[in-house]
Amino acid sequence: MAVNIITAKDITQRVFNKQELFILDVRNQDAFQDWKIEGQQFEHLNIPYFDLLDGVEEILDQIPSNKEVLVVCAKEGSSIMVAEMLSDAGREVSYLQGGMKAWSEYLEPVKVGELKDGGAIYQFVRIGKGCLSYMVVSNGEAAIIDSTRMTEVYTTFAASIGAKITNVFDTHLHADHISGGRMIAEKTNAMYWLPPKDAKEVTFEYQPLEDGNSVTVGNTKINIDALYSPGHTIGSTSFVVDEKYLLSGDILFIDSIGRPDLAGLAEDWVGDLRETLYTRYRELSEELIVLPAHFMIIEELNDDGSVAKKLGTLFAENHGLNIADEEEFRNMVTGNLPPQPNAYQEIRETNMGKITTDEEQQREMEIGPNRCAVR
């Protein structure tokens, strides 16, 4: 019986469609417990590859025969061998092409909506890592916000829809993933924007992104208005696009709020975080559709795979926006911080241009789940 190959794109569609999938993950237990492929209808069995070197007979009774079975490892090699053993034992089985490395790096573009004077806004869902980035398109021009290091995805997509990338933004200096913003700007001769309060140590030139900046994309006057919103970092900046969408960066998520400690200043920045969420955002229209830079849990995805919800709904449902007592808020935030992202200091320094790392080093630095939110 032949072993089938499944790509990260295939699994992403299964996540979006809430399909069933049984995953045999043959990585070590600590790697599996730290980070795995999530899906609302997915089941998991974790048995390390080294426990299967003598064969798979002892685990056959744990592998369902009536469900699609996928074998997963770090880079695909071990999963191919285990999948072949299961196939030889008479089971229909697939393996994930490229392993968790491919899962971490895959981006799925999802159209979020139309803009009022023509054009559209797209969300790029990094399904395995929880990162969300954006492309605003109007009249042949495109702006990119919070891009990942997989820059070719954006340039290829822009070319496919006939758009020229003219502006690239980062809402803040990222600490959980390496930004591709500067590289895209260099490739396309676009303007690269960064909040100056986050950019005091950067080694490259940039355009300062400040409160009240209005950048036009295309000839149809679709403005990207900057809104200074500190708390996750001291320079964190949100965008109101087309008076309809609020790109909240890592300040506000669908199910949680941003963490203020990735520069080691949680006690200093928690007040800024509250000011942004409870004062600045309260002044905005509740009809704005919130588009965050990350999602935390797979249940945050809408039926079309997008991550988006009205600001008014979040004011009603997001616990982090409904803590009246300031001291209780402070204690909730500083007392519920998850572990720091892997290599977050090296990621920050890479994004500042202070250190240069190759692709494999960057891949290793980013391994693991998204950890940008207060739990």
Quick one: which of 143, 182, 172, 156 has its CA closest to 294? 172
Radius of gyration of the chain (CA): 21
Closest of 271, 236, 223 to residue 121, by C-alpha? 223
168 C-beta neighbours (distance < 10 Å), count: 30
Closest CA to 22 of 47, 58, 50: 47
Q: Which of 26, 52, 73, 227 is catalytic?
A: 73
CA-based end-to-end distance of the chain: 45
Helix, strand, or coil here: 144?
A: strand
In this structure, are residues 147 and 181 in contact, taking their beta carbons and an 8 Å threshold?
yes
C-alpha–C-alpha distance, residues 42 and 283, integer Å: 40
What dihedral do alpha carbons 134, 104, 45, 7 form, nearest 10°?
90
- Label residue 203 exposed, middle or buried (CB < 10 Å: 0-12, 13-18, 19+): exposed
73 noted as active-site residue: yes
CA distance 198 to 36: 32
Task: Write out the catalytic residue numbers.
Answer: 73
